[in-house]
Amino acid sequence: MNNFLFGRYLPGNSWIHQMSPQSKLTLSFYFVVVIFFANNLASYGALAALIIVVVLLSGVSITFFLKGIRPLIWLIIFTVSLQILFSAGGHVFWQWGPFSISDLSLINGGYIFIRFLLIIMISTVLTLTTTPLAIADGVQTVLKPLKKIHFPVDTLALMLSIALRFVPTLMDEMGTILNAQRSRGVDFGSGSLKHRVQAAVPLLVPLFTGAINHAENLSTAMEARGFSDSEHRSKYRVYRWQGKDTISWLAFLAVGGLVLWIRKH
């Protein structure tokens, strides 16, 4: 679990760290959309150059990123090899039954590989440089327009931040329950599938009842501190749109335009 980088936050004070979470969220989304427009070497090259700049600006070392990608490498290899083996057309080098390798399929496989890499990189940059709390706040800001159609944005943001706050607490509790049940002779993680599912019951039931107790006590404590509804509140933390955000958006828009212009039609 320790070398799993996805969804973790690294404290820092770089350019990317200082950007507002709403712009980082929207930029990541925009970048993923742009990736799917790229379809030749030049357009992928432009995106790769952009991501390298982003990684450098984030102040996180490249080896750190590579380590983070390692757990996902099998998923990437699996998808890429399926793509190579099953796509038809072009000059065929090798064929066996339904499987074939051609120059086109190799190129396609390469593109899929780069696509994966770029998506993982941008989302890793997002999570490494943004605290979970800031992401929750960013979601709230980004979804604000939905208030017009009476979507409960503030409630959603509050739920999100409480959920994030309770993740480590519940993980700790799960560890405690796991060990308590082990000490009473429950065997986790061995035996047949059926056996393993049955062994999970004495873990899940106390975890759920514990979560319900937490919820009840927390709601009482919130009420006692004057919480009445999530809309009529002021905010302690505010992430303002800054010059950095505008510059980053301009750079991303320029690269996006470049990709649309040089892609193969």
Partner 1 sequence: MKDIIQIQNISFNYSNQPRLFDGLSLDVHQGEWLALIGQNGSGKSTLARLIDGLNVLTKGQILVAGMPVNDANVLKIRNKIGMVFQNPEDQFVGATVEDDVAFGLENRQVDRQKMHDIVKQSLKSVNMWEFRDRIPANLSGGQKQRVAIAGIIALSPEIIILDEATSMLDPRGRQDILNLVRQIKEKNHLTVISITHDIDEAAGADRVVIINKGQKIDEDTPAQIFKHPKRLEQIGLDVPYTSQLIAALSKRSVHAAKEYLNSEELITWIKQLVSTT
> In the complex, which residues of this chain contact partner 1 (CB under 8 A)?
131-133, 136, 161-162, 164-165, 168-169, 172, 213-214, 217-218, 220-228, 232-238
CB count in 10 Å sphere of residue 141: 19
What is the distance, to the nearest Å, from the Cα of residue 15 to the centroid of all Cα atoms in its chain?
20
Query: Of the two residues 198 and 217, which places its CB atom closer to partner 1 in the complex?
Result: 217
CB of 199 to partner 1, least distance (A): 26
CB contact set of 183 (below 8 Å; sequence gap of 6+):
none
CB of 28 to partner 1, least distance (A): 21
CB of 128 to partner 1, least distance (A): 17
CB of 184 to partner 1, least distance (A): 24
Query: Of the two residues 170 and 178, which places its CB atom closer to partner 1 in the complex?
Result: 170
Query: Of the two residues 94 and 236, which places its CB atom closer to partner 1 in the complex?
Result: 236
What is the distance, to the nearest Å, from the Cα of residue 223 to the centroid of all Cα atoms in its chain?
33
Interatomic CA distance for residues 164 and 159, integer angstroms: 9
Query: Of the two residues 103 and 223, which places its CB atom closer to partner 1 in the complex?
Result: 223
Quickly count helices (H) and strands (E) in the chain: 10, 2
Q: DSSP of 127-172, one letter per residue?
A: HHHS-HHHHHHHHHHHHGGGGGGT--HHHHHHHHHHHHHHHHHHHH
Please give the structure tokens belonging to residue 196: 């393993």
CB of 246 to partner 1, least distance (A): 23
Query: Of the two residues 53 and 159, which places its CB atom closer to partner 1 in the complex?
Result: 159
